[in-house]
Amino acid sequence: MTYPGLAGRMVVVTGAAGGQGAAEALLLAASGARVVAVDLQAQVPEVFAAGDRSDPSGPPVSYRRLDVTDEDAWQRLARDLAAELQGNPLRALVNNAGITHRARLGETRRDDWDRVLAVNLTGPMLGMQALAPLMGPGSSILNIGSSAALTAHYTAAYTASKWGLRGLTQVAATEYGPRGIRVNALHPGFIETEMTRGAPPAMREAQLTLTPLERLGRVEEVAELAAFLCSDAAAYIAGAEIPVDGGFASAGGSKYMSDSIRDASTSAALRPTLVAMLHKLD
């Protein structure tokens, strides 16, 4: 599937060396966009090398090193893109870069707190400041949040950064809307990536227990919605926050309660039969 309004247009995706970011970059390129993928590593990621792309017939992905916490680096990128755009507007910015820190509030050190907020919240702010001036009517900014931004997740710094990103998204949607620039947030749940593979087994098991669809998500499922929100198909969607989490956030833990009540009821219904069987054995 391709998405309208992206062909030949430039899109920037941060945190694109792997996982969700790479999937988003590849799908946008498959829709004809000129994708500029940025991340911390110096070498071009293998996923963007010739022959490794999911759609070899589409435009290639251009990779550049960028630290999203570096304001000067953002300004350099803006100048480079302005020269390449030659007066045409930048189509989209996908603020995907993010890091986690799995620690409770009482165990969170100040340097870890600062590091997480610098990448997850300050990074998108710097990106919008630098690249929004290159945008025009029909352009799109997409901030990748998390289901942790919709719940009281235990990861203190990560959760705070993603809740902050929700507020920043709404401010940006209000400020840039009159210029025809749409700003939205997408909130993935537990998606299978390199970052989530390091989660404790107990966390994965609990996530499945609390998720109505009873499975983890795939990066392609996040990328599909990201491409849609960057395209003309979402031309009247602004200030929206859309979960991609298998129903996790909306269920609010009620799935566990419902399953527990069902299991208890089933056990109660079977108890007379089990008692009768035991009497026969006696």
| Segments in 64-197 forming alpha helices (H) | 71-85, 110-117, 123-131, 156-176, 194-197
* Annotation marks residue 158 as catalytic: yes
Separation CA 224–CA 222 (nearest Å): 6
- Phi-psi domain of 19 (left: phi exceeds 0; alpha: psi -120 through 50; beta: other): left
Separation CA 105–CA 113 (nearest Å): 10
Q: In angstroms, what is the C-alpha Rg of the chain?
A: 22
Exposed, middle or buried: residue 106 (CB in 10 Å: 0-12, 13-18, 19+)? exposed
Catalytic: which of 158, 176, 236, 256?
Answer: 158
- The DSSP letter of residue 53 is S
Active site residues: 158
